[in-house]
Structure formats: C-alpha cells, structure tokens
Chain A
C-alpha cells in the first residue's frame, strides 16, 4: 500500500492552497497586532452587551456574572464572598501588570482559563458557555475612550 493510491494531484494543490491561506491569515493577524498604549482599555462583554470597561494599566479583579443564573436574588455589590458562592455562572477576570487573564470560570471546559494571558489590543478571551468576551482595545479607538457607558 503506497501513499500514491490515496493522494492525487488535486489534493496536493488544495492542501497547498489551504496552507497558504492559513499562513496569510496568521501573518495578517500578527501584523495587525499593535502594542498596547498607555491608555489601552479592557472591555468585558456579557451576553453580547457591554458589561464593563477598565484601563489595562490598573490592576484589578472583576467578577462577571453570566446572563443566565439559577437563583433569583442578586448578591450585594460589595459582597466579600467568593464568586462561586455568589453566582451559578460567572467568570473572574484579572488585570495584572498590563496583562489580562480569566482566572476562574464556572464552566466545565475551562477553555477561557487555559487560554492564558492577553496583553495586545485586538486580542480576546472568549467563554462560550457564559457568553462572555474579554478583549483589549487601544485607547485611540472609539470603543476604548470617551464614554463611560454605552446604551443601545
């Protein structure tokens, strides 16, 4: 059994085309990445809506509740309880030393936690089960600066 029986010329052409597309896309994504300016912001979205926006330069820990919750009562804003005791579905976002990571998540797959740290504008961490997105935007962009809150 040789490989020749399995692979034809068109397969190789398709393979090369796909690899070229992949390399071009990753090159374009790498080039479009700019360094975070001093006024870069961390934007957190929950369920497709803006949840919060903080400067990347300031260290803090943010608990992001997911849109879906089993319990009816909302815990007090200044509660000192751990996030897991307050919400059924949540993510904990940590901003530290100009880097952002999801340090805790209620979901089973923990993909967002394993994603690690992000520090460049345009990068994002996504938690699909909780429909949460954390991303970094540069200060110059419309989203990053200006308004304190956004209404839709």
Chain B
C-alpha cells in the first residue's frame, strides 16, 4: 500500500521550504522597488500571495510555516528586527483571521485576503502602540485600514488567478 504523498513530513518540509523561498523572493522584489508612501506599514505585501496560496492549496500549517519563515528571514535580510516584530504580529493576527474566515465558507479568496490585509495592519498597529507606549498612534488607524483593504484585495485577486491556474 502506497502512502499518500500529502501526509509525509518530508513532503511537508520540502513544500514549505519551497514556498518560503518563493515568498522570500517576493519580499526581496518588494524591498528593492523604490516606493515609499511616507507612512510606515503601508505596502502591497506581494509575498502574502504565497501565504494565501499555501493556505488554499495545502492548509493552515503550510501557510503558517511559509509566513513565519519568510518574515524571520526577510527581517534579518531587509527589514531589520523592528520590522520583523511588526510583521510577525501582523502575520499571526492575519493568519488567524484568514483561517477563521475560510472555515465559514462564505468568503472568496479575495474577501479572505482583504480581511487578512486589514488584520495584518491592525496587528502591527497594536505592536507599535505597545512599543511606543502611546495609544495616540491609533490616529493611523483609518489610513492603515484603507491601505489594508486595498492591498488585501490586490493580493487576493492575484492569488485567485494563480489558484485557478494551479487547479
């Protein structure tokens, strides 16, 4: 009896490593694009396309693995320790949100990704508020909310298109 290739841990490790390196390339591309809107936390987050695809194609464990590995390495390479801390907080909150919304079965990839974009920014905002010890940083809330919606939708559309091809 042959074992299903989906269930071996070697498959899992290889799959996550492959997707994490792909996500890292996206992080790198994003880091070298000379684009600065002047407000921290606002970026497209194209690396999250890989996370969304990992979640839909494989499962939450793969998505979490890809996301955490990508953030830690990208943090060491491009974003610095503080950037890593913010991203990690954002990633944990947005992953939890994505898993929950996906479970409801009501939302499409775009909707789930949009929520993730918003939650990602909110997670970062909470870490920033904790670090700076000042709740007034929530003045950024509307800006981060709208940018999260926009980035999330774009990432979601890209992910949906890729998922269609992969199926």
Contact = CB atoms under 8 A, between A and B. Distances in A.
B-side interface mostly: helix
A129 B134 contact: no
Interface residues of A, number: 32
A45 interface: yes
Contacts of B111: 7-8, 10-11, 14-15
Given A6-B157, A11-B108, A11-B114, A126 B137 contact: yes
Contacts of B38: 111, 114-115
Nearest to A114: B38
Interface residues of B, number: 34
Contacts of B82: 128-129
Contacts of A22: 142, 145-146, 149
A29 B142 contact: yes
Interface stretch (B7-15, B51-59, B69-77, B125-133): B125-133
A109 interface: yes
B35 interface: no
Interface string B130-144: 011110110101100
B88 to A, nearest CB: 15
26 contacts: A1-B161, A5-B164, A6-B109, A6-B156, A6-B160, A7-B110, A10-B104, A10-B106, A10-B107, A10-B111, A11-B108, A11-B110, A15-B111, A18-B118, A19-B146, A22-B146, A29-B141, A111-B38, A111-B39, A122-B136, A123-B139, A124-B139, A126-B132, A128-B82, A131-B132, A133-B132
Interface of B: 36, 38-40, 82, 104, 106-111, 114-115, 118, 128, 131-134, 136-137, 139, 141-142, 145-146, 149, 153, 156-157, 160-161, 164
